Amino acid sequence: MALDTQTLNSLGFAKSPADTRVVVAMSGGVDSSVVAAMLAEEGYDVVGVTLQLYDHGAALAKKGACCAGIDIHDARRVAEQMGFPHYVLDYENIFKDAVIDEFAESYLGGATPVPCIRCNERVKFKDLLETAKDLDADCMATGHYIQRMLGDEGPELHSAADANRDQSYFLFSTTPEQLSYLRFPLGHLKSKAETRELAAKYGLSVADKPDSQDICFVPDGNYASVIEKLRPGAAEPGEIVHADGRKLGTHKGVIHYTIGQRRGLGIGGLEEPLYVVKLDVDAKQVVVGPKEMLATRVIPVREINWLGDEPFTSRDEWHLKVKVRSTRPPRDAIIRPLSDTTAEVELLTPEEGVSPGQACVFYAPEGSRIFGGGWIWRGY
């Protein structure tokens, strides 16, 4: 029986699932595997694509890295089991140029980068998305925990139903054009347990596979060692100084420290607890001070991706909530546009440990909508 042209399938197209091609970005983990299996069972023309992003011995030996060899194998097994084609694309050079090199430079500049955002922005939702279009796909689906909803002005980005799994912080730079093409079939699920139940239902071998915890090219969590390999000589020693100018000790390289760090400073025996409050790369200094020095109220933000219905600069102020770390809840803020892509963000309650290189993501005061966001920088 022909499908009523006014009836939309589950991906939002007025045609049968069999006539709807969807490229699924498969990392080899349980989330994207469930998305692919679910859509294949619903009868969609599924094409699985896995990106080979980074390859070294440590990554290949660790299951927790999303681009390790074991994950490519797992993605291929799911495709074979569910009966759809699967391709592995070598994106190592693109990934190095678009993500790893900037990660290294940011750390060397005293920032705290979030490479997973850049990977989504510059690789998965850019080059891979174009590849999906080249394959004549109607859309691309991923296993991210975020929701795409249709509003009066078109597709909107919304937080996941499960706040504990929500990945909106890492997807704020998704553009309206990309959002029109992307689908996130897991965003409405109430818990990760539901995802694993679906994996078990489809009989997937990855049903009990642990979640990845680390950045794929830093599988042991040791950022500094990776930076030293990428930029030999980067870990030059220097002084640890108090904000009042006192020299308190020495360090093995600024890249070993982050804003807000308290442990592992090697300057024990002092009366007050001290935190890293500044990284002065030029002077090779790690500046420490009391906790109150970490409090920040005004944050300069640039490279803003705006997802509101009105132009960003149409108002002098936007009263929204913002999140300045992926692990922190959104806080009330006033966003004052300086241009289409820059702004000054005033936090109504100061935040501690705000660091250049992190994202500042904009949320609606009520509800689940995401209004985009930008990158925190020093403001000079």
Binding site for ATP, by residue number, is 25-32, 51, 143
Query: Taking the mean position of all CA atoms in its chain, how far away is CA 353?
Result: 19
Query: Taking the mean position of all CA atoms in its chain, how far away is CA 126?
Result: 14
Question: Which is the catalytic residue, given 66, 67, 119, 360?
Answer: 119
CA torsion sign, 86 to 90 to 92 to 98? Answer: negative
Using CA atoms, how far apart are residues 120 and 98, in angstroms rounded to an integer? 10
Known binding-site residue numbers = 25-32, 51, 143
Specify whether 360 is catalytic: no
Using CA atoms, how far apart are residues 144 and 141, in angstroms rounded to an integer? 9
Helix (H) or strand (E) segment spanning residue 135: none
Measuring CA to CA, how many Å separate 192 from each of 37, 68, 204, 277? 16, 22, 15, 36
Amino acid identity, residue 122? R
DSSP letter assigned to residue 212:
P
Using CA atoms, how far apart are residues 23 and 223, in angstroms rounded to an integer? 32
- Residue ranges with strand state E in the chain: 21-25, 45-52, 86-90, 139-141, 146-151, 154-159, 182-183, 238-242, 247-251, 275-280, 285-289, 295-306, 318-323, 331-337, 343-352, 359-363, 369-376
Question: Which is the catalytic residue, given 66, 67, 139, 216?
Answer: 216
Specify whether 216 is catalytic: yes
Query: How many C-beta atoms surround the C-beta of residue 80 within 10 A?
Result: 12
Query: Hey, which residues are catalytic here?
Result: 119, 216
